[in-house]
Amino acid sequence: MPFSLKPLSNQVIVITGATSGHGLCTAQMAAAAGAKVMLAARDESALRRVRDEIRASGGTAEYVVTDTGIEAEVNHLAAETIARFGGFDTWVNNAGIGVYARILELAIDDHRKVFETNYWGMVHGSMAAVRYLKDQDGGAVINVGSINSDMGGPLLAAYNASKHAVKGFTNSLRIEMMMSRYPVSVTLIKPSAIGTPFTEHGRNTTGYQARLPRPIYAPDVVAKAILDAAQHRRRAVTVGGGGKFQVLGAVMLPSLFDRIAVKMADALIDRNTPVEAVEGNLYQPQGNDGQTEGRQRGRRFSSFTAARRHGWMTAGAIAALGTAGALILRRRSNTRSLSAPRRSGAA
């Protein structure tokens, strides 16, 4: 059924993982645009601080302490939002955690915990949101995946697998909303490497300091994509042209990408900076929330991502991707030609 989404100034937005990174940035930007914001995370002191900062800036915000891996707490979040604001228009499933570890050294309990938050937290939020939004005039469910939803890589196996699962569920949910003719827009946001505190918050058993691979983008680039999807029906948005090119390589040249990805570990850990095992916030907050950016800062603009919000840039972005794809295929063809054995003699 046809429906439209409200402008931010008329919306109530629920955001999980709202006390750091692009979740926090999204909350701040939404409130600045006039939206009423319900903040959700596990760290109450950080939630209280973020709420108070938004209110001090003239915005409207409330919070509910929520572990998204626990369905009852997510349902409570939905109920409290309805009670305090009279309903909601957009639900952003953003909460996420990770573990830096080789697969054979990755504890099964850690693996399960990543899925409880990244996958099951997203499922719980999506279900709570849809149960309410399906009977409204129009609303949005926005799930934050990753470019890792489309490709693999070393040292973050649990995280990568959970983001593949986020993509699979989100795509299926979108199809069922269309099938049922519910007025619910379902968007998958796929950030590239974003300069959030993810490396500081992640559990790390590699023995070396975790880091982000370049190119790195700033959290507000993701926040803009999320808030665009809250107002305009988007299917999926990759944040950062650098990440899109990585995915393009993984899809078009998977065997070559695997060989290149073997060396990706050096981009994810700094072997010049040994560290003891880092507990991270996998099982509980560490009291270091409240920041949008981490120790690595990112660029604050992506032409590729902006193309999804500004129609005049779309043709240029598509042309650039097409040219890149053609170059990759041409190089592949040339490589095959050079490696093929030459025949001697007449046919």
> Token digits for 195?
């300069």
Is 159 annotated as catalytic?
A: yes
Of 160, 196, 84, 173, whose CA–CA distance to 125 is shortest?
173
Residues 6+ apart with CB under 8 A from 304: 238, 240, 241, 244, 317, 320
The CA distance from 123 to 127, in Å, is 6
Torsion of CA 34, 39, 45, 48, to 10 degrees: 30
How far is Cα 174 from Cα 158, in angstroms, rounded to an integer?
24
Q: Before 219, cis peptide (omega within 30)?
A: no
Alpha helices (H) along 100-232:
108-115, 121-133, 157-180, 198-201, 219-231
How many CA atoms are closer than 13 Å to the CA of 23, on its beta-carbon side? 28
Euclidean distance between CA atoms 83 and 77, whole angstroms: 10
Give me the catalytic one of 63, 100, 132, 159: 159
The residues assigned a catalytic role are 159
